[in-house]
Structure 1
Amino acid sequence: MTDQKTPSSWTLLSCMPVVVMAVVAVVDVLAGPGVGFLPLVSLGPAFAGLVGGWRRTAVFGLAALVLCVALGLYDGLFHERRGYTALASVAGVTGVGVAAAVSRSRREAELASVRSIAEVAQRVLLRPVPLTAGPLQVAVSYTSAVAEARIGGDLYEVVASPYGVRVIVGDVQGKGLVAVETAAVVLGAFREAAYDEPDLAGVGERLERSMARELEGEKFVTAILAEIGTAHEAVFLNYGHPAPMVVRGDGAVEFPEPLAFALPLGLGAHASESPVPYGVGFAPGEQLLLYTDGVTEARDEEGGFYPVGERAHLLDAPDAHRALKALRKDLAQHSAGPPHDDAAMLLLRYHSHGEGKSVPAA
């Protein structure tokens, strides 16, 4: 993606053609014809072509030609070749500037079209999660490490299935379009399997088969699957992913881990055994935070990792979305500079049944 210019720098570049031509005119008048400043008038249309369209460049080019003629007559340069050489210089620079501005405008139009298509694809891939799912209030946050991108290599989804609320949060190997392709395969398989499979292990097996069938090479995804039913219990299936954080009603924090971590999705062929689901108590008034390693591996200026467990008190806000925004803001303040990795967070608050509205990621 291209870097966004700040308003101050954009204003400065916009004023440069006028400033340059005015300075050249003043210096030429004061210094006299012997110094040879006249060809520098061509800097006006040259600067105009940096930030404006071809029409703006042509207008400044015409103004530069008029100024060049006026100064040439004042200096008496048209009695020799220097005056005509200066005119040729201004005309040549103007022509090149107009051509460059036309080419840049076409590229910008193509880039705008590509961005528009990409945004639509991104919204389809990481669609809004429901405000509520079963007994849960849901909030999500996604920060992409790629400037201006809404998605990258992290993924999440919440599905209210006949077997309970099923959730996935994952981190795809690699970045860019290849990572997005892998994320699309995993999310598509999860959305279908979450409705069909009677147990969480079956959902995981479907994801493995989909990745083996549709993706080539050594692509893999660390992921955690969760299922919250009616038994006040959260069941997890962990594929080499950071452990979830459970915040109890009294503020105590737990990071439930399996007896043995499974290999990431996509590497199941190398595993001798299938991952085993494990459960932990999860009751009304408690919260469950699923996240990717872009959260826990965010470093401050001294190289310290983000202590997500110590920040659990930020989730005390009555509204789950505001609570997650507070955690995201604290994560951004902790990080030194722009994020180096995508960071996804999904907060499940055991609340009560509500309307199935949808909201985009925070």
Structure 2
Amino acid sequence: MIRIKARAPTGREAVLPTVWGAVAVGYKFGCPLAQQNGLGARIVTSAVFFAVGTGLIFHVRRTLLRELRLARRAARAAQNVVLRPPPPRLDGLNVAAAQLSADRGASVGGDLYEVIATEYGVRVVMGDVRGHGLAALGTVAALLGSFREAAHDEPELGRVLRRLDRTLGRHLRERARSEHPAHGAPDPENPVAEEFVTVLLLEIDRDGRLRALNCGHPWPYVLRGSRVDPLSRADPLPPLGPFPLPAELEALPCRPLLAGESVVLFTDGAEEARDARGRFFSLPEALREVARHHPVSPQTVLRMVFAALRHHAPGPPTDDIAVLVLRNDRGGACRTSPAARDGEAGGSAARPCQAPTRPQPSTRR
């Protein structure tokens, strides 16, 4: 669990309150004017104590603001370590990501994402932890640490997902023991029954073939020229946490990501943003507006999407928002016929790429 330790006040910071207190006590017991009961003496006494109180209030306020700035700086540093920015280019993919926390004045949240180039292809995780702020950052750190190891170790995407599920269960049990030490149980039953995490795993190989595993997360959108299609319409698995994973886990083959096409991953905070009339933000419509200016870089997609979000819901967000965009800039992506590439109107169901079978991964580490 991540904790931000409060800094104890230094001797220098304690000097001013001591001086103000000494002035007040010295005036009260050492000044003859303070012993008088006349109107003028009372006015002077009140003015002295008002000045002392005002000075103490301003000193405390300045100290608290300094501590708040330090806490925010520590929170940003912790998140930059846990939720590190992805590289702008990774194995032929152009990558960009941005995150907005629902905590006012904070930069930490419950959203997680990572992009890693492995010998099995580029592997991506996008997730959403229930809750936001520092309370969710510990769960984010545990899951991302597990993914960064499993993405390189596990040849199958389903085994990566199982590693994440085991990590989440272990993290919740340890957190329950630390929060309720009086129980004394080595393994509390239902440690955090209401905790869950939605997770989406993607794998993009060198030919652009794309596989996915989805546990309760919104399906990404794919920008194909001026078109915006969901990656799949298949029903996702339940979120991690409340329910066990099925015995058989097989990644879903999706339409390949051709050269120049982009996939946009996001958390549900993006589509649940409401305007003053209670209308939800339409992410597909915002992406169609972006697609009119194609070709656009992932950085431009992020900038235009977040600008549309701020225009639709100008106030602070009610939920964490994260958006991750990957564009295939490889020249030798998997090719399909024009009919298969364009598809029928509204036909965005997942289809396997008609290409040679996936080569066996090398055993070299």
In the TM superposition, what are the counterparts of 1:322-361 in structure 2 within 5 Å?
322-352=300-330
Aligned to 1:320: 298
**SS across alignment from 2:269:** helix
Aligned to 1:88: 45
With 291-300 and 103-112 compared, the bigger mean Cα shift is at 103-112
Post-superposition CA distance 1:150-174 (Å, at most 9, x none) = 2211111111111111111111012
Distance 1:241 1:80 in 2: 73
Given candidates 251, 274, 287, the residue that maps to 1:299 is 274
Aligned to 2:158: 201
Contact 2:101-2:132 at 8 Å conserved across structures? no
Distance 2:222 2:297 in 1: 17
Given candidates 236, 246, 259, the residue that maps to 2:234 is 259
Structure 2 residue identity aligned to 1:300: D
Shift of 1:275: 4.4
Given candidates 245, 270, 279, the residue that maps to 2:253 is 279
Q: CA RMSD in A?
A: 2.6
Matched, 1:105 2:62: yes
Contact 2:106-2:133 at 8 Å conserved across structures? no
Shift of 1:272: 4.4
Matched, 1:236 2:193: no
Alpha carbons of 1:340 and 1:80: their partners in 2 closer, same or farther (altered >3 Å)?
A: closer
Alpha carbons of 1:335 and 1:203: their partners in 2 closer, same or farther (altered >3 Å)?
A: same
Contact 2:125-2:200 at 8 Å conserved across structures? yes
Aligned to 1:220: 196
Distance 1:302 1:106 in 2: 41
Alpha carbons of 1:172 and 1:96: their partners in 2 closer, same or farther (altered >3 Å)?
A: same
Distance 2:153 2:37 in 1: 88
Given candidates 77, 101, 106, the residue that maps to 1:144 is 101
**SS across alignment from 1:297:** coil
- For structure 1, the residue ranges without an aligned partner over 5 or more in a row are 1-53, 62-78, 354-362
Distance 2:70 2:310 in 1: 31
The number of equivalent residue pairs is 281
Distance 1:111 1:254 in 2: 44
Higher-helix-fraction structure: 1
Shift of 1:179: 1.0
Aligned to 1:188: 145
Say which one has the larger Rg. Answer: 1
With 96-105 and 231-240 compared, the bigger mean Cα shift is at 96-105
Shift of 1:234: 1.5
Alpha carbons of 1:142 and 1:286: their partners in 2 closer, same or farther (altered >3 Å)?
A: same
Alpha carbons of 1:248 and 1:83: their partners in 2 closer, same or farther (altered >3 Å)?
A: same
Percent sequence identity over matched residues? Answer: 37
Distance 2:98 2:295 in 1: 16
In the TM superposition, what are the counterparts of 1:113-124 in structure 2 within 5 Å?
113-124=70-81
Distance 1:263 1:92 in 2: 63
**SS across alignment from 1:328:** helix
Distance 1:314 1:324 in 2: 10
Distance 2:274 2:319 in 1: 11
Distance 1:221 1:166 in 2: 18
Shift of 1:299: 1.3
Structure 2 residue identity aligned to 1:235: R
Contact 1:261-1:275 at 8 Å conserved across structures? no
- For structure 2, the residue ranges without an aligned partner over 5 or more in a row are 1-15, 24-35, 174-191, 332-365
Shift of 1:232: 2.1
Distance 2:284 2:250 in 1: 25
Contact 1:299-1:336 at 8 Å conserved across structures? no
Distance 1:115 1:311 in 2: 32
**SS across alignment from 1:129:** coil
Alpha carbons of 1:331 and 1:105: their partners in 2 closer, same or farther (altered >3 Å)?
A: closer
Shift of 1:258: 5.6
Structure 1 residue identity aligned to 2:131: G
Shift of 1:214: 2.1
Q: What TM-score, normalized to structure 1? A: 0.72
Distance 1:220 1:253 in 2: 29
Post-superposition CA distance 1:177-206 (Å, at most 9, x none) = 221111111111111111111121111011
Structure 2 residue identity aligned to 1:340: T
